[in-house]
Amino acid sequence: MANINSGGIDSNTYDAIVIGSGITGGWAAKELCEKGLKTLVIERGRMVEHIKDYPTANLNPWEFKHRNILPLKDREENPILSKCYAYEESTAHFFAKDNYHPYVQKRPFNWIKGYQVGGKSLTWARWTQRWGVIDFEANAKEGIAVDWPIRYNDLAPWYSYVEQFAGISGNRDGLPQIPDGEFLPPMDMNCIETHLQKSLASSYKDRHLVISRTANLSQALSGRGPCQYRNLCFRGCPFGGYFSSNSTTIPAAERTGNLSMITHAVVHSVIYDESKQKAKGVRVIDALTNEATEYFAKVIFINGSTLNSTLLLLNSTSSRFPNGMGNDSNELGHNLMDHNYNGRITGEYDGYEDQYYAGRKPTGSYLARFRNFGNDKQTDFLRGYAYACNGFREINKAEGVNIGSDLKNTLSEPGLWKMALVSMGECLPSHQNKISLSKDKVDRWGIPLLEIDAAFGDNENNMMMDILKSGAEMLDKAGFKNIKTLDTKDAMGLGIHEMGTARMGLSSKTSVLNKNNQVWGAENVFVTDGACMTSGSCQNPSLTYMALTARAANFAVEQLKKNNL
Amino acid sequence: MKRREAIKNLAIFTGGAIMFSSGLLVGCNSSEVRIWLSDDDVLLLDEIGETIIPKTKECEGAKAAKIGTYMKLMADECLTKKERQIFLVGLTTIEDAAREKFSTDFMDLKPIQKKELFMEMQSQAEKEKKDSIEKSIAIIPIHYFQLFKDLTIHGYFTSEIGITEARRYEAVPGRYNGCIDYKKGDKAWATS
């Protein structure tokens, strides 16, 4: 850390520092700024301004040089990213490149990163089911890992709070596993989705297909949207039709006049004040010049995305915390989770030839969890799974069609209705699934490389067998034909729902964060991104991160007012 | 593309392991295999594409959609090395087959002859695929004809003509309606 440019302590001092500007950093910045705190957001990547910096947002398919297929050279240079469903010619600029940001895979793990203002909130899938009562109780009931220090009721008002601001479309379905929230009108299901919904309702008591709750605006909200049903969200939306930090929370923070932001700024470590027993600031390295600078604040929010937030804590050592900040429990870095998206079930349906759809729905249908829930009890695995379901009419099936005008005419018309199910399986927290710092390899800023050592275990693998069997059975009962199942057997990471590694808990002896997301032993440091998760549920996690962040930020402001931080 | 459609558009672009198809060995002993693609090859590829997706009374075909330029770009920049090799050998195979069957260069064949030639190749490709499935071969080899056919379909239906004339396209739909009437002959939406 040579050449520290302190710039004078006063000019580098803020009320609050937020590390990262993705889905949780944006929320932390908004809440802290709106409560009057002078807040510095530190982003490691480049600026991405809403609309202005969405270069592909209005391009037609034929306007991409490679028609949205990435060149071989790019795929070879980015073997991990190339496995990501959203990494395409139209979106490649929103993903951090493999070769520039290496990490060590002790066991195969696909780490997908978005290093820019807005982070992965630009490219997320926007599915936003609440977590249910069972999700926060499961660890305690089953004796897995440690208990969550909060319950659903602690979070419920904050779910409502973030839903109303973010704008979540959905239907009030009355399902306890995905509690209802403050929804904008739901988007339509198409006829094959409705068909499956009805079939499930008549064949089973516990199987419910609903329209996914989604952070796309079915109505205009606070000058944003409405959604134009282009389904090009991953490119950034010129209509502000979906929630991202760029479109929503960062502009709100800016409007307060309290926001400062630096970009190309990699946080090296959090500085611990041994005498005051709290953090006093952060060491930052300019990503372009490698110049180091320190910034100071009363409260620090770490929102660097799960793996980077924990990397930062691990790299923040002091006499008080020789093994990483908040690591009295030695659990820091452990209990890495993801969701298991490897299960795929498809089927074709003969019928509804006289029906179609118009517009491009930026979401799908959600088959809510039914395993180990209600009266269901499985012996082969704990927890459960949901399915992301998508019904559509096939357009590129050319098998058995003669070339020439027959082929052209066939492919110019929609084919059979098809249903595609993708699994979202809960992953148990395991101490063996862990991340740590490399002892001998560093990145281009001198920060130790992250080593990832994790894999799905027996519970996830047993669950996958049931996922495929049950999915095929449900499609069969609904009259689908040519049903196919597939376990892609991809390594962890491609769910891009990495969670855990700095879990919340009831005690500093067994967890890293307390019930308010404060770091044990450095209570003015908060971690509110996926790193904090104590278990994984099977619901998409981002909405829960948002609620936890808003809750923690408001708690931090209260404590600051009481001089408790 | 949506999250749940995690499988990419075209299997050939996934970079998975591919074995050579026996079908492409047929013509190997007669003509030299290309190591690069020329401007003349673009014209050849235009004809290959136009035979697979021709101009009809409805709208223009693959040639007008510049399918040759597109296929050359895919071969030069997007296909894996193995796919590219299948592509290059496949061109020679097509040329040799034309000479063998009609004693004429492919470029000089009548449209109906080109189609006849390709129908045979398509049958061969489908038979090989069927055999592979029956033998439970884990990785089904890519037949060169299937490669040209897939590239033509992808290239044509991502071109402006394919999107706006062969199919229906709305850049900004502005609404989603989950259920509308459909009658046979109505065009498919170009994008999902």
pLDDT digits (tens, 9 = 90+) for A206-248: 999 999 999 999 999 999 999 999 999 999 999 999 999 999 9
Average pLDDT value over all residues in chain A? 97
Residues whose CB falls within 8 Å of the CB of residue A478, separated by 6 or more in sequence, listed in order: A195, A196, A199, A200, A203, A347, A349
* B58·A409 Cβ contact <8 A: yes
A110 and A493 Cβ atoms separated by less than 8 Å: yes
β-strands A292-302, A278-286: how paired?
antiparallel
Residue B30 confidence class, pLDDT cut points 50, 70, 90: low
Work out the minimum CA distance from A429 to partner chain B, whole angstroms.
24
Joined tokens for residue A112: 């997908």
How many angstroms separate the CA atoms of B147 and B143, rounded?
A: 6
How many angstroms separate the CA atoms of A535 and A541, rounded?
A: 11
A329 and A198 Cβ atoms separated by less than 8 Å: no
Q: Is A489 at the interface with chain B, CB within 8 A?
A: no
**CB pairs below 8 Å between A and B: how many?**
200
Q: Which residues of B touch A354 (CB under 8 A)?
A: 181-183
Give the nearest partner residue to B173 out of A229, A407, A494, using CB atoms.
A229
pLDDT in tens, A400-418: 888 999 999 999 999 999 9
Residues whose CB falls within 8 Å of the CB of residue A469, separated by 6 or more in sequence, listed in order: none
Count of residues making up chain A: 565
Q: Is A337 at the interface with chain B, CB within 8 A?
A: no
- Segment A130-145 mean pLDDT: 98
pLDDT in tens, A285-311: 999 999 999 999 999 999 999 999 999
Q: Which of A491, A536, A528 is nearest to A512 (CA)?
A: A528
* B158·A361 Cβ contact <8 A: no
Q: What is the pLDDT of residue B15?
A: 37
How many angstroms separate the CA atoms of A119 and A308, rounded?
A: 12
Q: How far apart are the first and last CA of chain A?
A: 28
Give the nearest partner residue to A364 out of B1, B4, B56, using CB atoms.
B4
Q: How far apart are the first and last CA of chain B?
A: 7
Q: Which of B83, B158, B127 is nearest to A411 (CA)?
A: B158
Instruction: Give SS3 for A391.
Output: strand
Residue B136 confidence class, pLDDT cut points 50, 70, 90: confident
Count of residues making up chain B: 192
Pick the residue of A408, A413, A421 with the most B CBs within 10 A to test the interface with B by mutation. Answer: A408
Q: Where do the domains of chain A lie?
A: 1-170+217-339+437-454+498-565, 172-211+341-425+456-490
Q: Is B118 at the interface with chain A, CB within 8 A?
A: yes
Work out the minimum CA distance from A534 to partner chain B, whole angstroms.
25
Please, is A175 exposed, middle or buried when counting C-beta atoms within 10 Å of its C-beta (0-12, 13-18, 19+)? middle
How many angstroms separate the CA atoms of A272 and B98, rounded?
A: 77
- Segment A195-201 mean pLDDT: 98
Q: Which of A100, A125, A3, A131 is nearest to A539 (CA)?
A: A131
A202 and A158 Cβ atoms separated by less than 8 Å: no
How many angstroms separate the CA atoms of B21 and B28, rounded?
A: 12
What percent of chain B has a predicted confidence (pLDDT) above 90? Answer: 77
Residues whose CB falls within 8 Å of the CB of residue B116, separated by 6 or more in sequence, listed in order: none
Whether the predicted pLDDT of A69 surpasses 50: yes
- Is the backbone peptide bond immediately before A226 cis, with ω within 30 degrees of 0? yes
Give the nearest partner residue to B78 out of A66, A359, A414, using CB atoms.
A66
* B78·A86 Cβ contact <8 A: no
**Which A residues in the span 435-454 are in contact with B, Cβ-Cβ below 8 Å?**
none
Average pLDDT value over all residues in chain B? 87
pTM over 0.90: yes
Pick the residue of A56, A64, A67, A184 with the most B CBs within 10 A to test the interface with B by mutation. Answer: A67
Q: What is the pLDDT of residue B31?
A: 75
Query: Tell me, what's the ipTM?
Result: 0.93
Q: Which residues of A touch B189 (CB under 8 A)?
A: 356, 358, 360, 395, 414
* A73·B176 Cβ contact <8 A: no
pLDDT in tens, B180-192: 999 999 999 999 9
Work out the minimum CA distance from A531 to partner chain B, whole angstroms.
23
Whether the predicted pLDDT of A204 surpasses 50: yes
Q: Is B69 at the interface with chain A, CB within 8 A?
A: no
Q: Is A345 at the interface with chain B, CB within 8 A?
A: no
Work out the minimum CA distance from B32 to partner chain A, whole angstroms.
25
How many angstroms separate the CA atoms of A163 and B160, rounded?
A: 39
> What CATH class does A1-170+217-339+437-454+498-565 carry?
alpha beta
Instruction: Give SS3 for B168.
Output: strand
What percent of chain A has a predicted confidence (pLDDT) above 90? Answer: 97
Residues whose CB falls within 8 Å of the CB of residue A237, separated by 6 or more in sequence, listed in order: A54, A57, A227, A244, A247
